[in-house]
Amino acid sequence: MKQLGKKNLLLLLLAIAIIITPLIIKRDSEFEGADGQAEGVIEEISPDYEPWFESIWEPPSGEIESLLFSLQVAIGAGAIGYIFGGLKEKRKIAANR
């Protein structure tokens, strides 16, 4: 059981290192999304480009947009975790038969 705790701690430290490393290496960089970068490239290539459609609803602020994106990620991660947990439980039940 102690071995499992050491593995979890090592994985947690590795995840923290992966998250912090880009912030340390590229201190003065702006980490913007791919959508904004693609929009800039499209404007350079074709300044008269018109989008095919507009958003149905535009969030009132960047914070709410981030909140909605985070909620979407949390729901997706929960669904994936639920599916993997169910598969693991099915295997455990099948092994005990």
pLDDT at 73 over 90: yes
Helix/strand/coil for 59: coil
pLDDT at 33 over 60: yes
Question: Tokens for 14?
Answer: 């590795």
Q: Are the C-beta atoms of 10 and 18 separated by less than 8 Å? A: no
Question: Tokens for 87?
Answer: 């598969």
Q: How far apart are CA 41 and CA 32, in angstroms?
A: 14
Q: CB within 8 A of 42, min separation 6: which ones?
A: 49
Give this prediction's pTM. Answer: 0.52
Write down the pLDDT at residue 13. Answer: 95
Distances (CA, A) of 48 to 36, 39, 55: 17, 12, 19
